[in-house]
Amino acid sequence: MRQPGRAWALLSASIFLATLAAQAVPKAVLDWQPGLAATEPWRWWTALFVHFSPLHLGANLLGLVLVAMLGLSARVPWPVSAAWFAAWPLTHLALLLQPALRHYGGLSGVLHAAVAIVAVHLLAQRAGRWIGAAVLGGLCIKVVSESPWLGPVQHTAGWDIGVAPIAHACGLVVGIACALVAGFLSRTRPDD
């Protein structure tokens, strides 16, 4: 997996296909529920596959395609993809910070983590520093503008589901943390 972007593309494609396949599974078996986080830890992973409407599914899959293209164009190495893989369950686990969020499903939290991870990666590259700063700055402004502290679910015009901005905030913070750990480990790892 030394070819830049390859692991990112494989992870993106796997999530895309698994999300489509999971639409046949009852949502209550897969969605995030804080009361079941300890006894049913698969939900740390499977919440990503749950979508509550066709619009929700379509928007998240489009977002996934854009995130895939972002990682490919940034030519992210496999440790950056590993950071995204680690951020996947950690983003959902961080939802415990908002126990009033009784159910959660969707890709948006993990997609926010992915964008943050690529932005941090770009910040560390001389050629991509300004792009990384702009992407990360824009993402931070977006998350803050959603006021995730106002409650677990917000109803926004144009959406047929409630939106959980806390998932976006958790994804941002977890994504930055995972990217920083991956960057540190990459610098301290002995050469092969």
User: Cα angle vertex 82, ends 141, 55, to 5°?
Assistant: 50
The pLDDT score that the predictor gives to residue 81 is 96
Q: Is 163 helix (H, G, I), strand (E, B) or coil?
A: strand
**123-151: burial string, b at 16+ Cβ within 10 Å, e else:** beeeebeebbeebbeebeeebeebebeee
**65-88: burial string, b at 16+ Cβ within 10 Å, e else:** eebbebbbebebbbbbbbbbbbbb
The pLDDT score that the predictor gives to residue 192 is 42
| Count of CB atoms situated within 10 Å of the CB of 186 | 16
The pLDDT score that the predictor gives to residue 18 is 97
Q: In a structure prediction context, what are the per-residue pLDDT tens digits for the chain, which is 192 residues long?
A: 578 899 999 999 999 999 999 999 999 999 999 999 999 999 999 999 999 999 999 999 999 999 999 999 999 999 999 999 999 999 999 999 999 999 999 999 999 999 999 999 999 998 889 999 999 999 999 999 999 999 999 998 889 999 999 999 999 999 999 999 999 888 766 544
- What phi, psi does 104 have (nearest 5°)? -150, 140
- CA 181 to CA 170: how far, in whole Å? 16
H helix or E strand, kind and range, residue 66:
helix 54-73
- Sign (positive/negative) of CA torsion 147, 148, 149, 154? positive
- What phi, psi does 149 have (nearest 5°)? -80, -10
The pLDDT score that the predictor gives to residue 189 is 60
Q: Identity (one letter) of the amino acid at 118?
A: V
